[in-house]
Structure 1
Amino acid sequence: MIGARRFRRTWQRLRADVRVVAERDPAVRSLGEAVLAPYLPALWLHRVAHPLHRRGHRVAARVLTLLGRLLSGGCDIHPGARIGTGLFIDHATAVVIGEDAVLGDDVTLFHHVTIGAVGWWRDRSRQPGERRHPTLGDGVVVGVGASVLGPVHIGGGAFIGAHCLVTSDVPAGSRVTAPATTAPPRAVPAQSARTETPRREPA
């Protein structure tokens, strides 16, 4: 009976994962296309690997997530990460989700996003059991190339813009953006001085 309940719960999550692709990816025209979203192999194998990791089968869990990364083209989800329903990862390339990261429901990540730790030089000074990775609330959006680092909390509905570096808490519903790149004004070449030859009047 317990196995049947677990199967139904897993099946509902898989359906939610596919449905969210169809809802959020404008390039997808059918559920058949949605099933082929590049990040889904990594996410689905993570759903299998996470319980194994919690039970201490760390090597088996790592093998599954490595396979998921290969099948997804570089979406690296640690088996220890906790991920809610409705995660959408657009393009999936070079996405990293760290060991004790927590992602709520309906989170959206774009490519080249890191949800990770600050670095080993900081982590080695933490106490055993102290968190190293971020917590993202429900409905958070993290834009292209952004990094959310350390044990910070991103409140529900927050928007992290492209190429932001976030190392502190972000309140729910907030919008964080990086300065946009502007092109320098175009240099106008100085006009060269022209020497006029005096005109000779006809005799």
Structure 2
Amino acid sequence: MERKQPNIKATYQIEIDAPIDEVWDALAVDYGGIGKWASGVNHVVEFSGEGADAKRFCSISAAGFNDTREKVIKWDPENYYFEYELYEGLPGFVRYSINKDKLTPKGNKTIWTSYNDMRVGGFMGLTMKWMMRKQLTKVLQNKAEELKHFVETGEAHPRKVEIMEKTLVLLPARIALRSSANNLLVASWRSFLRSIFSPMKATLGLDIAKE
């Protein structure tokens, strides 16, 4: 089934002070390494394949957003161009979202043009189109600035560093909360087992719910 045309498009372009092959390696070849430099991604949970077969599962840092699964759908290294699709984790009103990245040499520097084609539907999607376009442009701008900083300096952009520091601070609390929830679930299950099997112990000699 052929897709309908995107009804939201965003574009951002930036000049990076590095040779095109160096930028291509960081952006495309190391497709699973986006968590090293992009503030929108906490880390890559899973990664498989390479080139045209590359897929990644990203833990997203933005509050209220689901983690996303993304896959390369077009791979043209000779022309320094590739596309990838976010195929899982999108809001329900988003029909599809495709990123397109093109590198162009400029002497010893590189021009990176990043595009996003998205289609939204339903009442929610149509009413939020203007806001989504603005937000997508900002996302592309942040990503471009962060890759530029990473390639030119070898270090993460201050936005990425801030996100990493927040993640390190919150991670112990998240682990503790998850552990507490698991302990409560186990305790509730044991209590349920006792309520079911305790009356049977006297006659059957069972001790199933014993800790």
Structure number with the higher helix fraction is 2
Structure 1 length as normaliser, TM-score?
A: 0.29
Structure 2 length as normaliser, TM-score?
A: 0.28
Of structures 1 and 2, the one with the larger relative CO (CA 8 A, separation 6+) is 2
